[in-house]
Structure 1
Amino acid sequence: MFKIILALLGLYFFGIFGAFLGYIAGSFIDRYRAYGAGAINPFTSAQRQTVFLETVFILMGKLAKADGHISQEEINHVENFMQKLGMSPEHRQVAIGLFKQGAAPGFDHAPKLNEFMIVCGHTRNLGQMLLVYLIVMAVADGHMDAAEESLLRDVARYLGYDPSAFRQLLDMVLSQSHFARGQPPSATTLDDAYKALGVTRESSDQEIKRAYRKLMSQYHPDKLMGQGMPEDMIAMATAKSQEVQAAYDLIRKSRNM
């Protein structure tokens, strides 16, 4: 519908070239509106994978530069990230180029997020995984400063998260990271386990089970690949599911569930 309207407006004001541009712009609007109505995503899996990867590395660069400088810890995190993805030397160079693009002074990330929403925005899981990767990146140097959190909030807003939903996801991801392999237990480990699942000590056993199953479904490799997540990034989602499993096991043991 919009592609016809914008094509006619473009023809009226700018001629044939304007009609062409109007038709293209209207097509994107129609697709985006269709996603909200539950229509089938017209983009191929390869297209979604490409846009997902580009968005991840561009926003990693933007996030690393948010506080004014890129720390060695952040560089090491990106290097480790690419290593875990098993990237070829050619793909590593492309990823580094995207990272530098995002880190450039004054870089506007809005167009890339708009493209992400058009191509990948029909499923909340891909948007959530994008935020998860960026949150982990933000704390790669041991802390998250105000500029980094502000950028994350802005990205979350583009992805459809209200402030409270973003805060809950942020707390969950940070708490889940405490259950990464090799992390020693602490005095607050059980509290972290509840936060990792997005529940509280007052939650019932059934509520905890539902939260656990929901998270495991969101991190499920087959589901994420079916929605367009690049296969190389599945290992990272698997690591998050292992953290969720460790947190749930601790809660279950403490409650004799």
Structure 2
Amino acid sequence: MGWIGKLVGGTLGFAIGGPLGAILGAAFGHGFDKRDDAYLAGRGGRPGYGYRRIEASDDTRHMTFFVAAFSMLAKLTKADGRVSEVEIRTIEEIMERDLRLNADSRKIAIQIFRTAVQSPESFESFATQFADAFRHQRQILELMADILMRVAVSDGKLSSEEERMIRSAVQIFRLPASFYEQLRSRYMKTGKGAYDVLDIDPSATDEEVKKQYRRLVREYHPDAIASKGLPEEFTELAEEKFMAIHEAYETIKKSRGMS
């Protein structure tokens, strides 16, 4: 992650601005909190917390994903009043196993998390900025929603406030309501199992199941995710999703006797 080194060295030459920029500014003292009231004028936002819509470098996208992920997780884990030990362990597992962050990156993630926990900014403000940055990349939005649900249920329950936040994120990301139900069903171990993973009804024909499987494989193949401009570390999340899709399809094939 090239931007990490620039951040540590204080030589980062661009800003993401907005609520996420405010988190970086508070966490590291750099001038990230770029204000652009004109941007927000047509979006119904608060004066003083606009941000420039940057289409530019991979560094910008990488930083936005990273900061948004740990900022949203901070607000989510605090939803029921306290951050539990099991939630912290799950986030650490995501950092180490899924994102494969090195020691420096983990320290920065923790610093962002701690800053966001105390920030007056809302979960929705972070989700909105993230959605704007990845508005044309549904797979990334779905992966983020998946991370949120995974952490929320890590303590064996889903509180009403956690559920409200994740539903809000799904809506802000412009994902269908059925996607939330599929996530909840999969992680809470309810519903239709393998069919939930493929987001298809058990009444679907064999051909419909095959068609849906092929579509998901194309969308979530790690190479397809990598081509979106995210660094190698984030493709680990896509690989996990890809494997879950394949395993679900094999389960359905076996149960139906499909060739």
TM-score category of the 2 structures, normalised to the smaller one: 0.7 to 0.9
Number of aligned residue pairs: 213
Partner of 1:12 in structure 2?
A: none
2:145 corresponds to which of 125, 128, 131: 131
Letter in 1 for 2:207: Q
Change (3 A) 1:56 1:226: same
Q: Deviations over 1:17-44 (max 9, x none)?
A: xxx956x638x98xxxxxxxxxxx8322
Q: Verify the 8 A CA contact 1:176 1:244 in the aligned structure 2.
A: no
Task: Give how far 1:254 is off.
Answer: 1.2
- Bigger drift between 115-124 and 193-202 goes to 115-124
For residues 66-101 of structure 1, give each alpha carbon's deviation from its aligned partner in whole angstroms, at most 9, with x where no partner exists.
Answer: 111111110100111111122122111110122123
Q: What letter corresponds to residue 70 of structure 1 in structure 2?
A: V
Unaligned runs of 5+ in 2: 1-34, 44-53
Question: CA RMSD for the aligned pairs?
Answer: 2.8
Alignment of 1:238-253 (within 5 A): 238-253=239-254
Deviations 1:10-65 (A, max 9, x none): xxxxxxxxxx956x638x98xxxxxxxxxxx8322221111011111111111111
- The aligned counterpart of 2:198 is 197
In structure 2, how many angstroms separate the alpha carbons of the residues matched to 1:60 and 1:216?
27
Query: What corresponds to 2:134 in structure 1?
Result: 120
TM-score of the two chains, using structure 1 as the length reference: 0.73
- Percent identical among aligned pairs is 27
After superposition, where does 1:98-247 map in structure 2 within 5 Å? 98-104=112-118, 106-161=120-175, 165-166=176-177, 168-174=178-184, 176=186, 191-247=192-248
Q: Work out whether residues 124 and 168 of structure 2, in 8 Å CA contact, stay in contact via their aligned partners in 1.
A: no
How far apart, CA to CA, are the structure 2 residues paired with 1:59 and 1:114?
11
Whether 2:81 is the aligned partner of 1:82: answer no
Cα gap change, 1:142 to 1:217, in 2 (>3 Å): farther
Change (3 A) 1:21 1:62: closer
Distance 1:142 1:219 in 2: 27
State the distance in 1 between where 2:158 and 2:187 align. Answer: 14
Question: 2:93 corresponds to which letter in structure 1?
Answer: N
Q: Deviations over 1:103-125 (max 9, x none)?
A: 22643234433332332222222
* Alpha-carbon contact 1:176-1:243 (below 8 Å) kept: no
Q: Secondary structure at the match of 1:227?
A: coil
Query: Under a length normalisation based on structure 2, what TM-score does the superposition of the two structures give?
Result: 0.73
Q: Quick check: which has more Rg, 1 or 2?
A: 1
What does 1:2-17 align with in structure 2 at a 5 Å threshold?
none
Amino acid across the alignment from 2:193:
D
CA distance in 2: counterparts of 1:44 and 1:170, whole angstroms? 31
Query: Residues of 2 paired with 1:93 and 1:21: CA distance?
Result: 30
Determine helix, strand or coil for the equivalent of 1:70.
coil
State how far apart, in whole Å, the 2-side matches of 1:239 and 1:176 are. 14
Q: What is the letter of the counterpart of residue 182 of structure 2?
A: M
CA distance in 2, matches of 1:83, 1:236: 12
2:74 aligned partner: 61
One-letter amino acid of the structure 1 residue matched with residue 256 of structure 2: R
